[in-house]
Amino acid sequence: MSGPHEVILGIGGYLGHDANAALLVDGRLIGASQEERFTRRKHDGDYPRHAIMDCLAQARLSAQDVTDCVFAEKPLQASLFDRAGMAGGLARWLGRVAPESSSGLYSVPARQMFPGARFHFAWHHMSHVAGAFHTGDGQRAAFLCLDGKGEDYSASAGVIDHGELQLRWEQPYENGLGLLYTLVTYHLGFPSFGSEYKVMGLAPYGRPTLVAGLERLFATDDRGGLRLHAAVKFRWPMLDAAAALVTEATGLPARGREQPLTAEHIDLAASVQHVFEREVFKMARFLRRETGERRLLFCGGCAQNCVVAGRLRDARIFEHVANSPIGGDMGSGLGAALLLARHRTKQGAPLRVDPQGYCLGPEPGPAPAAAAPWRVPCAGSLHDFVAGELAAGRTCGWIRGRMELGARALGARSILADPRQPGMQSRLNLAVKFRESFRPFAPAILAEHTGEWFDSAEASDFMNYTAHLRPELRNPPPARLGSLREQLDFPRCALPSVVHVDFSARLQTVRPSVHPDFHRLLTAFHARTGTPILINTSFNVSGQPIVRTAADAWECFVNTDLDLLVLNDEIYRNPGQRTREEKLTWLKTFAASA
Amino acid sequence: MAKNLRRLGVTLLAQLLRLLGGRPARAGWSRSTRDPLDLTSK
């Protein structure tokens, strides 16, 4: 029997953040994982050895079987830009002629691991574009890749179809729109990598009163060509100093991470989100005008801003907007692998892989022995039983099947709760997740009922768009709701824990064809309560990567106030034996990444 | 001494490369001449 003849391993995020790996075997997607889930270091950017081994194990292949290894970055050109400020044509020429050893130690671990493989290096942004296109509906579209940085670019745009990939425009340098958002995130006291989503969540509480101040930081044009005046680099130690630029521009002192959020800080969050949306809309109009395309593919790290993705979709600048399910670098290895597979495919032949609901990681494995005494007997349907417990106000960890790729839990490594319960947002934030109280949760809703609750019935299978609660379901707020606390406490609708103060929600529309097991649970909850919605948040605490194994889940479970844990086909109750002090000590393990 | 000389050499080379390869200070979109399917350059 002959083995597979094309085994493509994609590696992304390496020597940066969110290192990851993905495996394609003869054009079939086998698996994809993030290194942080194995090493338990959030955003781990080391060589993704564990993620690679997991992909190979899922394929029942060994390292010798890998025929091609492709990186989601051109390391020499990135390094020339970072270290020598060199970009453009000369850097590209050197990238072609210089020996691979000139890119330092970048590919050494992979070359040692896969001595027989061919090696390739994809443009970082093209990896994002290919990942979104070939796992999506595969229809011709203009693309906008908006990122912190890729080699020495902050944005790339063009047109993609199966038969062509036109890279038409780029924004050189890294000090663009993404970096502006990151600087403000730092200034607001959220210095951990990837905290921009907290600013996005904070923005609806404020008013964009500091836009004029922020505008002192950059030049822009009518095509969204934003560039910071200061030559700031996307390097973490330097960002602390660079955040002082925001103080100079706005007159607002930076917030320490333990200091309370003032009204002005919240207004700054609203202001940067306003600028971000304005510039993205300008870019979209430019692309619509210049390409004539009716569809837009939005991808790159900045596309994780699901608020702007939802607004873009509503604005109808393009008839259809597809936002990448895995906008960040977590999916860049998969994108690079798909780019190489596309390159090998006969010209114009469609290449589409089934992303399997993006549940591409490992199974959880068996429950630890320590869990056995706490097993809850369940004679009937597990889904009906858990639906009943949730309806009774119990919170539940839910660990079933292969784990998700990307930052969002989609019903394989989730914490679930009933959104009708009063005070559930605070209870989950403060006693389970140990995170900021202002952050709302995402509603997972049966896709067939979306239109009854929200103003858009379009699919958002991966929490990649926001929609708004239907007007007739809203309680209009009184004329004046000032503080964050007043806004949080106002009962704005029947499900306040999953609906933001501006009535927006970051939806996961759950379809049986994409997430069948989770759909079954939601159906059981709907049958029991008449509400087709559950709170769905990732199974982790602040600063911790999402749990991967049953053992990870049990450790997290006993250190939080969660009530129940579903591990594979078994249900467990919380022993409740850890003291508050023990829990806090455990929590401090992850504090640096919170 | 040798270490310092080597460091100076690296700095000078970096400055030279910056002069040769640096871009003009302009903002916004520019036409791309990159091959999006280039998988060989590093």
Give pLDDT tens digits along chain A (594 positions): 467 789 999 999 988 889 999 999 999 999 999 999 999 999 999 999 999 999 999 999 999 999 999 999 999 888 887 777 777 778 888 888 888 776 667 788 999 999 999 999 999 999 999 999 999 999 999 999 999 888 889 999 999 998 889 999 999 877 899 999 999 999 999 988 889 999 999 999 999 999 999 999 999 999 999 999 887 777 766 677 777 899 999 999 999 888 999 999 999 999 999 999 999 999 999 999 999 999 999 999 999 999 999 999 999 999 999 999 987 899 999 999 999 999 988 777 888 899 999 999 999 999 999 999 999 999 899 999 999 999 999 999 999 999 999 999 999 999 999 999 888 888 888 777 777 777 889 999 999 999 999 998 889 999 999 999 999 999 887 766 677 777 877 888 999 889 998 999 999 999 999 999 999 999 999 999 999 999 999 999 988 999 999 999 999 999 999 999 999 999 999 999 888 888 888 888 776 666
Secondary structure of residue A591 in the 3-state scheme: helix
Q: Which residues of chain B does A222 touch, with a Cβ-Cβ cutoff of 8 Å?
A: none
Long-range pairs for A589-593: beta carbons < 8 A, 24 or more residues apart: A589/A544, A590/A42, A590/A541, A590/A542, A590/A543, A590/A544, A591/A543, A592/A192, A592/A543, A593/A41, A593/A42, A593/A43, A593/A192, A593/A193, A593/A543, A593/A544
Q: How many CB atoms lie within 10 A of CB A211?
A: 17
Task: Name the packing angle between helices A263-291 and A306-315 (round to 10°).
Answer: 50
- Phi then psi dihedrals of residue A160, to 5 deg: -130, 140
Q: How many CB atoms lie within 10 A of CB A525?
A: 25
Structure tokens belonging to residue A255: 């917030």
Nearest by Cα to A195 from A270, A305, A279: A305
Angle at the Cα of A179 (from A174 to A182), degrees rounded to 5? 155
- Provide the 8-state DSSP code for A73: S
- Phi then psi dihedrals of residue A331, to 5 deg: -105, 10
Question: What is the model's pTM?
Answer: 0.92
Which residue from A95, A126, A220 is facing B41, i.e. has the nearest CB? Answer: A95
Using CA atoms, how far apart are residues A113 and A117, in angstroms rounded to an integer?
Answer: 9
| B4 shares contact with chain A (CB less than 8 Å) | no
How far B5 CA sits from the closest chain A CA (Å)? 18
**Residue B38 to residue A90, Cβ atoms within 8 A:** no
Nearest by Cα to A180 from A162, A196, A164, A156: A196
DSSP H helical ranges for A45-195: 49-59, 75-84, 88-97, 108-113, 124-134, 177-187
Domains detected in chain A? 7-127+331-352 (3.30.420.40), 137-324 (3.30.420.40), 369-593 (3.90.870.20)
Structure tokens belonging to residue A240: 């602390």
Which residues have CB under 8 Å from A219's CB, separation 6+? A226, A227, A229, B27
Using CA atoms, how far apart are residues A236 and A185, in angstroms rounded to an integer?
Answer: 12
| B24 shares contact with chain A (CB less than 8 Å) | no
Position A346, amino acid = K
- For the four alpha carbons of A434, A436, A438 and A439, in that order, the dihedral sign comes to negative
| B23 shares contact with chain A (CB less than 8 Å) | yes
Q: Which residues of chain B does A171 touch, with a Cβ-Cβ cutoff of 8 Å?
A: 28-30
**Residue B39 to residue A343, Cβ atoms within 8 A:** yes
As separate numbers, helices (DSSP H) first and strands (DSSP E) second, chain A gives 21, 21
- For the four alpha carbons of A204, A208, A211 and A213, in that order, the dihedral sign comes to negative
Strands A20-25 and A7-12: antiparallel
Which residue from B18, B22, B41 is facing A96, i.e. has the nearest CB? Answer: B41
| B17 shares contact with chain A (CB less than 8 Å) | yes
Which residues have CB under 8 Å from A26's CB, separation 6+? A4, A5, A6, A7
Using CA atoms, how far apart are residues A340 and A538, in angstroms rounded to an integer?
Answer: 32
Which residue from B13, B14, B32 is facing A168, i.e. has the nearest CB? Answer: B32
Residue in chain A closest to B35 (alpha carbons) equals A167
